[in-house]
Chains A and B, each alone.
Chain A
Amino acid sequence: QKEVEQNSGPLSVPEGAIASLNCTYSDRVSQSFFWYRQYSGKSPELIMSIYSNGDKEDGRFTAQLNKASQYVSLLIRDSQPSDSATYLCAVVFTSGTYKYIFGTGTRLKVLA
């Protein structure tokens, strides 16, 4: 069973703080990892992709990947109320049938 796990939240942080979102996955051979943001009633939109161990920064967002621990995270610096949304971790599983599997999602609330 291919699984992607996240804390469902809600995770509440004050405006300007760092929000830390975590994700674990079950398949050691996975190579592609994504973070999506989903506002209520909308389709998911891509924030970050990461393929190699370490950190990848894009503006206020930093994705971190540790394949040995099967762990990927997303840090949001200087959190804004507009960042309040559900954040979905997605993993491409390639052992067996190619699948794009989403985690359970973490609801983030940034308090003004």
Chain B
Amino acid sequence: SAVISQKPSRDICQRGTSLTIQCQVDSQVTMMFWYRQQPGQSLTLIATANQGSEATYESGFVIDKFPISRPNLTFSTLTVSNMSPEDSSIYLCSAPNGDTEAFFGQGTRLTVV
């Protein structure tokens, strides 16, 4: 099983600023997923990060707002740009083990004030 270290675990940010969330996997993985989980809601897929290519964004999410980097097979970052209070949420990174289970980071609880 893969272990994913995600940081920061939480942050309180001023509106208009940006926050970069990092995920480090202890093994090489082809794909990593980034999710948002708003209070009381399920996980919404933001984008899929593939090493060596542009991330694939889901409907409603754009690269300018959520730029993603994937410099190698063990690391990815998600930036939440020009934040507003509506961006307050939990952000989770995940890596699937082939077609089997997905492993998750610990999550980043973001509050925008």
Which residues of B, 32-60, contact A by the 8 Å Cβ criterion? 33, 35, 41-45, 48, 56, 59
Smallest distance from the beta carbon of B100 to chain A beta carbons, Å? 6
Of the 9-residue stretches B14-22, B68-76, B77-85, B101-109, which lies at the interface with chain A? B101-109
Check if B48 sits within 8 Å of A99, measured CB to CB. Answer: yes
| Residue contact A49 to B100, C-beta cutoff 8 Å | yes
The answer to the question of A43 belonging to the interface, with a C-beta cut-off of 8 Å to chain B, is yes
Q: From residue A105, how far is it (CB to closest CB) to chain B in Å?
A: 4
Is the pair B100, A99 in contact by a Cβ cutoff of 8 Å? no
Instruction: Say whether B56 contacts A97, CB under 8 Å.
Output: yes
Which of A44, A88, A98 has the largest count of B CB atoms less than 10 A from its CB?
A: A44
Name the B residues within 8 Å of A99 (CB-CB): 33, 45, 48
**Given the complex of chains A and B, what is the CA–CA distance between A71 and B102 in angstroms?**
20
Query: Could you say which of B41, B48, B59, B99 contacts A92, with CB atoms under 8 Å apart?
Result: B99
Q: Size range of the interface on B?
A: 20 to 34
A43 touches B102 (CB 8 A): no
A-B contact count, CB below 8 Å?
48
**Interchain CB contact under 8 A, B100 and A100:** no
> Is A102's beta carbon under 8 Å from chain B?
yes
The residue that B42 contacts in the complex, of A34, A49, A100, A103, with Cβ under 8 A, is A103
Asked if B96 CB lies within 8 Å of chain A CBs, one says yes
Say whether, besides A43-B107, A97-B48, A97-B56, A102 and B43 are in contact (CB < 8 Å). yes
The 30 sampled A-B contact pairs (Cβ below 8 Å) are: A1-B59, A34-B102, A43-B104, A43-B106, A43-B107, A44-B43, A44-B104, A46-B101, A46-B102, A49-B100, A49-B101, A51-B99, A88-B42, A88-B43, A92-B96, A92-B99, A97-B48, A98-B31, A98-B48, A99-B48, A100-B94, A100-B102, A102-B42, A102-B43, A102-B44, A102-B45, A103-B42, A104-B41, A104-B42, A105-B41
